[in-house]
Amino acid sequence: METGPTTRNELTPGPSGDRRPVSGTGPEIFDLSVVVPVFNEAGNIVSLVAEIRASLDGFLDYEIIYVDDGSHDETPGRLKEVASDFTLLHVIRHRVTCGQSTAMMTGVRTARAPLIVTLDGDGQNDPADIPRLWECFRKNGGSEGSLLVVGHRQKRKDTRVKRMSSKIANTVRSRLLKDDTPDTGSGIKMFSRETFLELPYFDHMHRFIPALVLRNGGRVVSLAVNHRQRKHGKSKYGLHNRLWVGIIDMLGVMWLQRRAKLPVIEKEV
């Protein structure tokens, strides 16, 4: 069984500016790991890392994990440049493109914090929302059970086709999976590392995280978040791979839901 890193007992921010390695041979301990899967997002890296730092410096102890999913633009070089000046940025590169779900799994497995927040690498998620997700997670008792906080994007800054395809996909998923989440496609999510690693893994599973968390007996809370226009690069998703390709995956999640067994522990000796 896979075990997570040593963690603090309470989900409270560490001392401002305290980024020192823990004594001994164990890993560094952080309050939060920011996981950012990317594919051909060279133009967004510098600004997004700067925004994450502006949002979290002095608030808590954190690390940033970028997973480059086999990019063939200037993404690898840009990440190397930024990491050379910022020791809290850890970069992992897939030799070949594996998809967003696999890149997310790679980042979470690498994380050295008990709590994870994910962001899309296109800059449309606003890092300024991360402290709000943190407070929501704590307010809803995140340290006491399996909790997922999902960003609900307000006033979407996407093309009409993308907004339409996302609306259709969210409506279909909500009705069939009953995941009680208005925006499952939002890239900004917060959850414990342990919770994520207990979920069944498959390609495209990142689209169904709320339903999978509920299947495992967890809770889901949606929080209104900012959404911004993409400044650089092109979207990797459209109507085809948001809806039609996801139908088979959705049927698979429904199959998993029907076969879930959640035991109620009556007594433990």
Distances (CA, A) of 46 to 34, 162, 191, 252: 15, 25, 25, 38
CA dist 143 and 235 (Å) reads 35
Q: Which residue has the higher pLDDT, 108 or 246?
A: 108
**3 lies in a domain?**
no
Query: Rounded to an integer, what distance in angstroms lies between the CA atom of residue 41 and that of residue 78?
Result: 9
Mean pLDDT score, 91-112: 97
212 — pLDDT class (breaks 50, 70, 90): very high
Does residue 63 have a pLDDT over 60? yes
- Domain-embedded: residue 16: no
pLDDT in tens, 227-244: 987 887 566 555 555 556
Report if residue 168 sits inside a domain.
yes
Mean pLDDT of the region 174-181: 81
How does residue 185 score in pLDDT terms, banded at 50, 70 and 90?
A: confident
User: Does residue 17 belong to any structural domain of this protein?
Assistant: no
In a domain, 25, yes or no: no
pLDDT, position 23: 32
Q: Is residue 8 part of a domain?
A: no
Task: Flag whether 150 is in a domain.
Answer: yes
Q: What is the CATH number of the domain that holds 187?
A: 3.90.550.10
pLDDT of residue 260: 81
Query: Is the model's pTM score more than 0.85?
Result: no
Asked whether residue 139 is domain-assigned, the answer is yes
Question: What average pLDDT does range 179-188 have in this prediction?
Answer: 87
pLDDT in tens, 239-265: 555 556 677 788 888 888 888 877 767
Percent of the chain with pLDDT over 70: 81
Judged against a pLDDT cut of 90, whether residue 55 lies above it is answered with yes
Average pLDDT over residues 143-147: 84
What total of structural domains would you count in the chain? Answer: 1
* Predicted local distance difference test score (pLDDT) of residue 263: 73
Taking the C-alpha atoms of residue 225 and residue 120, their distance in angstroms, rounded to an integer, is 13
**196: containing domain:** 32-258
Q: Tell me how far apart the alpha carbons of residues 251 and 212 are, in angstroms, rounded to a whole number.
A: 13
pLDDT(5) > 70: no
The stretch 14-22 carries a mean pLDDT of 39
Provide DSSP, 130-165: HHHHHHHHHHTTGGGS-EEEEEEE-S--S-HHHHHH
Q: What percent of the chain has pLDDT over 90?
A: 58
